[in-house]
Chain A
Amino acid sequence: MKTLALALVAMFFTGPLAAQSQDLGQPVPEGGQVETTGVEASGEDADGGLTFTVTDESDWADLSIAIPGFAADRDVPTPANADGTGALGREIARVITANLQNNGLFQPIGPNGLPQPGFAEITAPAWGNWRGRGAEMLVHGYVRARGDGKLVIGCYLYDVALQDELVREGWVVPPADWRRAAHKCSDIIYARLTGESPFFDSRIAYIAETGPKDRRVKRLAIMDSDGANHRFLTLGSATALTPRYSPDYSKLLYLSYVDGNPRLYVYDIGTGRQTLVTQSANPTFAPRWSPDGQTILYSMAVAGNTDIYRVPASGGRSVRLTDAPGIDIGGSYSPDGRQIVFESDRSGSQQCYIMNADGTNQRRISFGGGRCATPEWSPRGDQIAFTRIAGDFNIAVMSPNGRNLRVLTNGWQDEGPTWAPNGRIIQFFRTERNSGRSSLWQVDLTGRNERRLPTPVDASDPAWGPILP
């Protein structure tokens, strides 16, 4: 009963006070630099790499990778795992295996059902055993609890047929950050085998949804790229929408109804302080960061007419970028920060436009039929992802000149694409017809490898941050 009363208090507690004192989250992991360390070379420290190139992904779909448990030099207690560093080694292998699954590139196996290599084997693999199991690639690694309480985690990738070390790296992490080492290891494996940039060591902000369709509770939440380290940042007393991580992960931009009106706030993750993006009585929507984190784009309705503005992230004077009658909203910078793709209904329906960062040279780019909404420029610069509305709502990509349109998904209502840091995978949210329930999904650029992301409750508005240092 007490809990219920408290929850109800929270629900009715929608005054401005709540912004500062009631609806704050707990501190969030810092996401600072992970210390890299040298690791011992394997026995045959060959300089050879792969002798073939990655051109057709179908060649890779069968690439089997064995990922046995990481070996501990001594099985000692660690805050990272109740059962000691030996058990932690197996958990690290489990995280890497899960990361490399489901992207259509690899067939990772492990650590269950695989023999556990000893510490000495990490740099001298038992080649015959692994070849006998049909593994083409082999991941080895170790965990060592250092005297200062930190963990040293080493990671090695071997080509079994060539009996060759392809890449190795090591990291020193506080026990609480052991997953980041597992993600860093996944990243060097992915990058080495595909030639693409890494993306596993990154985080996602999104909106967690609960409750019936006409009284949805929407809370700001964050998690690692694989769904781990999940945190709710707001209580849900005020509707929260459309979060965006700052490029350095130190802040979140989002929309909150905490004072009764839709307004944009900057949430400082370190201090928990929340400040308005702009001191205006007008409603503000659709917050975005520039790639360097120095500028915030936002949309503001004045007497019903919505336009796009920019303001220095440190505060200061807002500059209006659009002045067309109608709704100009959203916006996403090109990676070099010189152009902005945005959406406007100035032609009569939602379409995508590009302008220079100062608002000049506005021109429509979407002519592919249907409507174009929520455009997001790829971190690689070569594609723009958007919500294509043509009957149903689907995620699509096109070149920045509007050509080469490809539809990647076929849900009833898929919207709000966000790019992986390497520009190869897109997350979005899918809403079910009638029930209104929503969930996070991701799809690669082929459109073939689509999967749902696990979240504790329903989820929408995903925003993928950049790769962590």
Chain B
Amino acid sequence: MNTRFATVMLLASATALGACAKKAPEQLPPPPPTTTAPSTPTPAPTPAGPQVGSQEHFVSAVNGQNVIYFDTDRFNIDSQDAAALQTQAQYLARYPQVLVTVEGHADERGTREYNLALGERRANAAKNYLVSLGVDAGRVATVSYGKERPVALGSDEQSWAKNRRAVSVVIN
């Protein structure tokens, strides 16, 4: 337990430091010394592109179709959703080691608890469609975020349409 705790703390700290490093420094660092020319040749780049099992690889392979969208208060899979889910199912068939979570979301124009249930219903609609295409149900988890995690921040029809979504995310 303690070892695990320490590991988690270590990982969390590393992540925290990483996050800190990304912050814009208040003062620019001093310019690198220009007197010494680089003596070692630049190492050959490792094979480019994201690795299988990463979210980047998945999103790139399905051409961004890891997100499907819903009408207000609806959770049905329309033809556009079906096409996106077919692309996802093909990816999952090609990489049988990959597991995904479908995250269900609602727009802000609903009460909190109902939206949690609605997000769960949307995530399950996407999952069921994937399963109907032959994906093992055990490889697809679901989670609802209700209206808690919007991607579009306005309070208008356009933003709400972007937030009524189910997002497939690769589990690392």
Contacts and interface: CB of A to CB of B under 8 A. Distances in A.
Interface of A: 1, 4-5, 8-9, 12-13, 15, 17, 21, 213-214, 216, 218, 239, 241-242, 255, 260-262, 283, 285-286, 299, 301, 303-306, 327, 329-330, 343, 345, 349-350, 373-374, 387, 389, 393, 413, 415-416, 431, 433-434, 436, 460-461
A262 B155 contact: no
B143 interface: yes
B111 A301 contact: no
Nearest to A326: B121
Contacts of A286: 113, 116
A218 to B, nearest CB: 8
Contacts of B113: 242, 285-286, 299, 329-330, 374
Contacts of A13: 8, 12
A216 B148 contact: yes
B95 interface: no
B120 A461 contact: no
Contact of B108 (A21, A301, A436): A436
B117 A306 contact: yes
Contacts of A213: 150, 153
B154 interface: yes
B16 A12 contact: yes
A387 B125 CA distance: 27
B83 interface: no
Contact of A8 (B16, B143, B148, B151): B16
Nearest to A7: B16
B152 to A, nearest CB: 9
Contacts of B44: none
A350 B123 CA distance: 20
B149 A214 contact: yes
A214 B16 contact: no
8 contacts: A5-B13, A12-B12, A214-B149, A285-B117, A350-B114, A416-B112, A436-B108, A436-B153
A433 B155 contact: yes
Contact of A329 (B108, B114, B123): B114
Contact of A261 (B4, B5, B15, B143): B143
B19 interface: yes
B124 interface: yes
Given A285-B116, A327-B117, A461-B112, A9 B16 contact: yes
B121 A434 contact: no
A304 B13 contact: no
Interface string B129-147: 0000000000000111010
Nearest to A18: B8
B12 A304 contact: no
Contacts of B19: 8
Given A5-B16, A262-B144, A303-B124, A349 B151 contact: no
Contacts of B150: 213-214, 436
B120 A304 contact: yes
A305 B112 contact: no
A422 to B, nearest CB: 25
B85 interface: no
B112 A306 contact: no
Closest 7 CB pairs of A and B: A304-B124, A8-B16, A306-B117, A301-B120, A373-B111, A433-B155, A327-B117
Nearest to A207: B112
Contacts of A241: 112, 116, 148
Interface string B93-126: 0000000000000001101111011101101110
A214 B118 contact: no
A8 B124 contact: no
Given A1-B20, A9-B16, A214-B150, A343 B114 contact: yes
Contacts of B155: 433-434, 436
A4 B143 contact: no
